[in-house]
Amino acid sequence: MITQSVTPNSEIEIKKDPKLMSLIGVGLIFVAMILFVFFVRPFHQAVAKVKEETILKTQELTALKTKVADFENAKTKLGVNSELQKLEMLRSIPIGVSQDKAIEDIVQLAKDHNIELSSIGFSKGITSKSKIGILQVSAGFDGTYEDLTEFLKALEQNKRMFRVNSISVQLMNTDTVGLKRAVFSLSMDTFYQE
């Protein structure tokens, strides 16, 4: 307890009670513990949660970087890594279906390689690429096996992009010069920009 005494000189003297001081000290420690429990500890838990989230995000970032590197490798393997190559690829895909131009290309390639075009058919295919359509072509030819291989090589080098899906070959009797004749059917796709 604090007491006050007055002296004749009008000085006020304050006496301190040691029990009261110990109670104030214990009270302050108790208040500090309450502040720690209610304010500092939840903050520590929030920091631990943020650390966990940071570790997870770092792992996700590493996985995404790996995927990007894989895509870059695939892009390099496919040879479509320069704008010039992309432009050349687009030039090999005409705008619009243009079946007549596809027929002209196939007929000209057949003539150039001594192959007789016996039948040709078209249908539109389905593609997952936006703004790119597929024209499915089925064609029947007569010629020699060597002519077929030369025709396929020329088809690969044609300005218009063709993708051969299947080849069916039926060998026939030899002709008058002793060469084996063949009847073959090709199922192929050509592409167009919509």
13: helix, coil or strand? strand
Instruction: Please tell me the predicted confidence (pLDDT) of residue 181.
Output: 77
Question: pLDDT band at 10, cuts 50/70/90?
Answer: low
Q: Span 47-69, mean pLDDT?
A: 90
- Reported as type and span, the H/E element at residue 172 is strand 162-174
Which residues, other chains included, contact 158 with Cβ-Cβ below 8 Å and sequence gap of 6+? 105, 109
Q: Which CATH number applies to 90-193: 3.30.70.60, 3.50.7.10, 3.90.380.10, 3.40.30.10?
A: 3.30.70.60
Q: What is this structure's pTM?
A: 0.48
- Write out the two tokens for 117: 């075009």
- pLDDT value of residue 11: 58
Per-residue confidence (pLDDT) for residue 92, from 0 to 100: 63
> What residue ranges do the domains of the chain occupy?
1-81, 90-193
pLDDT per position as a tens digit, 127-175: 767 777 888 888 998 888 888 888 888 888 888 788 888 888 887 766 5
